[in-house]
Amino acid sequence: MLDGGFVERAENVLVFGFPGRGKSHFLAAVAREMILRHGYPLLYIPAFKLVQQLLAAKKGLRLESLLKQLDRYPVVVLDDIGYVQQDREEMEVLFTFLAERYERQSVMISSNLVFSKWDQIFKDPMTTMAAIDRLVHHSTILEFNGESIRAQKGMDKEREK
């Protein structure tokens, strides 16, 4: 993965796991390598911020322009997609973003929700299936299991006292 091949092939990296498992740190480390080692321009953004930017652009009739701006990035990292409870408009702009990148540019996504729960994000079963289908078609899927890193650190601090 660190060789950057997934970017050249416009593949996605999808990372799942409960909170505190290191998903965001992992994506940040891979993103850093893509920038430093390979020189890829990259956008790392919490999912809720991207959705808000897309929604504002749509309301201002600038969605196509924003999508073209985002296209400058061979990789967009969407952190914590599972925490965003979308309304219909938000879901539509997120789906539009993902559909526009399909087979052309990479996304790296972290989520605390497994795919079977993504109807909480996209609300509509057909849109959910279409989004998942596009994302997994060319992707590496990682599951981060184990104990919460934050909880473990908290327990270690307690033991030190």
- Rounded mean pLDDT of the chain? 92
Q: Is 102 left (phi over 0), alpha (psi -120 to 50) or beta?
A: beta
Give the pLDDT confidence of 116-150 residue by residue, as tens digits.
Answer: 999 888 888 999 999 999 999 999 999 999 888 77
Residue-number span of the structural domain to which 146 is assigned: 5-160
Rounded CA separation 105/108 (Å)? 10
Q: Domain total for the chain?
A: 1
pLDDT value of position 155: 64
- What residues form DSSP beta bridges with 141? 14
> Residues with Cβ < 8 Å from 112, sequence gap 6 or more?
16, 17, 18, 19, 23, 80, 82, 83
Is the pLDDT confidence value at 65 over 80? yes
Q: Residue 113: give its domain's CATH number.
A: 3.40.50.300
Lowest average pLDDT, out of 8-22, 95-109, 144-158, goes to 144-158
